[in-house]
């Protein structure tokens, strides 16, 4: 049994949650979320950003594998 579709859905949900948290945290600190790649982020925001990027990369890899 292949669990990749379930893994992909779980990761997409995690990513949506992290995106929303990151957006809230950025705005609460006076940043525009689109600036994330252009500003030095405080450690908490940098950790959220890193986690988002990790999940995006894993999700892309799983999606590519599923499409092959």
Q: Across the 68 residues of the chain, what is the mean pLDDT of every consecutive 10-residue run?
A: 76 96 95 90 94 94 85
pLDDT of residue 63: 86
pLDDT of residue 2: 53
pLDDT of residue 1: 42
> Would you list the domain boundaries of the chain?
4-67
pLDDT of residue 68: 79
26 burial via Cβ count (<10 Å: 0-12, 13-18, 19+): buried
Contact between residue 33 and residue 52 where contact means Cβ atoms under 8 Å apart:
no
Torsion, CA 16, CA 17, CA 23, CA 25, rounded to 10: -170
- C-alpha atoms less than 13 angstroms from C-alpha of 31 in its C-beta half-sphere: 18
Q: What does pTM read for this prediction?
A: 0.82
């Amino acid at each position: 049994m292949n669990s990749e579709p379930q893994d992909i859905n779980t990761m997409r949900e995690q990513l949506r949650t992290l995106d929303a948290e990151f957006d809230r945290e950025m705005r609460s600190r006076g940043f525009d979320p689109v600036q994330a790649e252009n500003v030095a982020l405080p450690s908490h925001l940098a950790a959220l950003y890193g986690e988002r990027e990790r999940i995006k990369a894993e999700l892309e890899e799983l999606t590519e594998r599923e499409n092959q």
